[in-house]
Amino acid sequence: MMKIRMIGAVDKRDIRASVRTRLRMLTSDEKNRQSKKLCKRALSHRLFSESRVIALFVSLKDEPETRDLIAQLSEKHRVVLPRVEGDIMQFYNYTPSSMRIGSFGIEEPCDGIPISPRDIDVIFVPGVAFTQEGARLGRGKGYYDKYMSQDGFRAYRIGYCFKEQIVENIPCEKHDVKVQEML
């Protein structure tokens, strides 16, 4: 994977701007090609044979497409998706009929009871930027860091991103939660 090389002291705002510039340069065809490749790799992941509950996210326009992955995984696994409620995020069972546009214009499940963080086996984590070592830079609200820091959370964390989102270094703070693997 090609990494963005950051020289000198760079803050999170600069990294976000640099990665967003790179993502705007991607053609629709390239985004589709990379999204299909990521989906194929995800579907063949070794952990799925042992996993019951998989947490995914509905992609935004600057993220790898996840709708096909959600549909295919939900045929054999319990798939859960996030819903933002004020300043917290909870995960709910995915059913196509329960999806509505929610916070930030993102499709979210509108029905059900939030599942316990301890019930998730694997979580696919979005971000603006990642390092190969698993550092992650989100959009700045901390929803995923807060969620993955809850007592009982034990899921295997997988970063899900375009290759243009891989950077050399991300300044990390004590509350930042790393992913364990990049797809």
Strand residues in 28-183 grouped as ranges (E):
53-55, 78-85, 88-93, 99-101, 107-109, 122-125, 129-130, 136-137, 156-159, 181-182
**Is 20 part of a structural domain of the chain?**
yes
Q: How confident is the model at residue 10, as a pLDDT?
A: 66
Instruction: Report yes or no on 7 lying in a domain.
Output: no
pLDDT of res. 173: 87
Q: Is residue 3 assigned to a domain?
A: no
> Using alpha carbons only, how large is the chain's radius of gyration in Å?
16
Q: Quick check: is 103 in a domain?
A: yes
Say which CATH number the domain at 51 has: 3.40.50.10420
Separation of alpha carbons 31 and 27, rounded Å: 6
Q: What is the pLDDT of residue 50?
A: 87
Task: Tell me which residue range forms the domain holding 158.
Answer: 12-182
Q: Compute the distance between CA of residue 67 and CA of residue 104 in angstroms, rounded to an integer.
A: 17
Q: How far apart are CA 152 and CA 78, in angstroms?
A: 19
Query: Is 148 within a domain?
Result: yes
Within a 13 Å sphere around the CA of 14, how many CA atoms are in the beta-carbon half?
Answer: 12
The answer to whether residue 54 sits within a structural domain is yes
Tell me, yes or no, whether 64 lies in a domain. yes
User: Domain count of the chain?
Assistant: 1
User: Residue 4 falls within a domain, yes or no?
Assistant: no
Binned average pLDDT, 10 residues per bin, the chain of 183 residues:
48 94 96 97 91 96 96 96 94 95 91 95 97 94 95 97 96 92 93
Contact of 55 with 46, CB cutoff 8 Å:
no
Count CA atoms closer than 13 A to 29's CA, side-chain side: 0
